[in-house]
């Protein structure tokens, strides 16, 4: 049943040109960066004399691409997530889902998976693009996998938060802006506590938990953080929708 809600979301994304445009624009941006990364790699490495200055091509190019990806997703996810629930409220299609024999949790998780499924296409594309380096070089697949998992968890967290904000309002734009501001605040939170890295507030920052992945490290603590983040916001969304039913 969850899968049917997710299918419906994906269908809606691809029914309008928006889904395709976003996919192609983002891939264009990543592709350009990938190309620049390779060019820079040769420029930088030819100047790097000492072995300590040298890094692998995977890490060098990967850092550029994944760094950009995490930044672009900060804009792309609110744009995509903002209409998930608010649009349904505005066009009064919510009763269609609620009258169907599915629970609110299934609706919310289905919508979440629909969006994450769409974004997964991008993550897979990025990984495939970087893997093409393997034709010329011997690359570090572990690094790409760790980054892909990290990026996936990051965008899933973004999506969960976007879904929650979308459930708060009837105006997709309001939801989009709220999501963006909140995500941006969470991203840069650790900058404010740069002097005191052990601060509890700093460990709330999404970026901080993404960092270990971008270094190629899969840390169960960070996975738990993202998982909790996602579950929290999905639960809040379910509760918000349930309040509609109870309070009308």
Partner 1 sequence: MDNFTVEATELTRLYGGREAVSNVSFNLSKGEVLGFLGPNGAGKSTTMKMLTGNLAPSNGSVKICGIDMIDNPKEAKALIGYLPEMRPLYKELTVDEYLDVAARLHRVSPKNIKKAIEVAKERCGLGHMSKRLIENLSNGYQQRVGIAQAIIHNPMVIILDEPTVGLDPIQIRDIRALIRELGQEHSVIISTHILPEVEMVCDRVQIIDKGKLVFNGSIDVLKRQRIGNKLLIGLRNPPQADALLKVAGVTEAEVLPSGLVRVRFADDADPAESIVQAAVANQWGLYQIAPDQTSLEDVFVQLTYQDQSIPHQPTGQ
- What are 92's two structure tokens? 């009064």
Dist. CA 188–CA 202, nearest whole Å = 9
Number of residues near partner 1 (by CB under 8 A): 25
Distance of closest approach, residue 94 Cβ to partner 1, in angstroms: 7
Closer Cβ to partner 1, 5 or 85, answer by number? 5
Which one of 10-18, 136-144, 188-196, 216-224 is the stretch in contact with partner 1 (CB under 8 A)? 10-18
Dist. CA 74–CA 203, nearest whole Å = 19
Distance of closest approach, residue 232 Cβ to partner 1, in angstroms: 24
- By CB under 8 A, the residues from 78 to 97 that bind partner 1 are 91-97
Dist. CA 228–CA 244, nearest whole Å = 25
Distance of closest approach, residue 166 Cβ to partner 1, in angstroms: 16
- By CB under 8 A, the residues from 15 to 34 that bind partner 1 are 15-16
Binding of partner 1 at residue 246 (CB under 8 A)? Answer: yes
3-state secondary structure of 128: helix
Distance of closest approach, residue 104 Cβ to partner 1, in angstroms: 9
- What are 218's two structure tokens? 């899969």
Binding of partner 1 at residue 239 (CB under 8 A)? Answer: no
- By CB under 8 A, the residues from 95 to 114 that bind partner 1 are 95-103
Q: Is the dihedral of CA 2, 127, 181, 186 positive or negative?
A: positive
Residue with tokens 């929290």: 232
Exposed / middle / buried, residue 36 (Cβ in 10 Å: 0-12, 13-18, 19+): middle
Binding site for partner 1 (CB under 8 A): 1, 4-5, 7-8, 11-12, 15-16, 91-103, 245-246, 248
């Amino acid at each position: 049943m969850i899968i049917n809600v997710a299918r419906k979301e994906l269908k809606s994304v691809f029914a309008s040109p928006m889904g395709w445009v976003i996919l192609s624009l983002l891939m264009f941006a990543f592709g350009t960066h990938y190309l620049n990364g390779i060019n820079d790699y040769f420029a930088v490495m030819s100047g790097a004399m000492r072995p300590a200055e040298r890094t692998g091509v995977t890490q060098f190019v990967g850092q550029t691409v994944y760094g950009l990806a995490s930044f672009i997703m900060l804009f792309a996810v609110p744009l995509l997530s903002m209409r998930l629930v608010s649009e349904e409220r505005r066009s009064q299609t919510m009763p269609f889902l609620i009258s169907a024999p599915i629970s609110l949790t299934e609706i919310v998780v289905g919508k979440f998976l629909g969006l994450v499924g769409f974004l997964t296409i991008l993550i897979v594309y990025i990984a495939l693009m970087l893997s093409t380096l393997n034709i010329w070089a011997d690359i570090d697949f572990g690094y790409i996998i760790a980054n892909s998992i990290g990026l996936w968890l990051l965008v899933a967290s973004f999506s969960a938060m976007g879904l929650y904000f979308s459930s708060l309002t009837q105006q997709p734009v309001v939801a989009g802006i709220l999501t963006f501001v909140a995500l941006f605040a969470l991203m840069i939170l650790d900058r404010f506590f740069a002097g005191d890295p052990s601060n509890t507030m700093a460990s709330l920052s999404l970026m901080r938990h993404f960092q270990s992945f971008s270094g190629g490290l899969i840390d169960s603590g960070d996975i738990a953080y993202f998982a909790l983040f996602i579950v929290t916001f999905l639960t809040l969304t379910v509760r918000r929708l349930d309040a509609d039913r109870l309070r009308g």
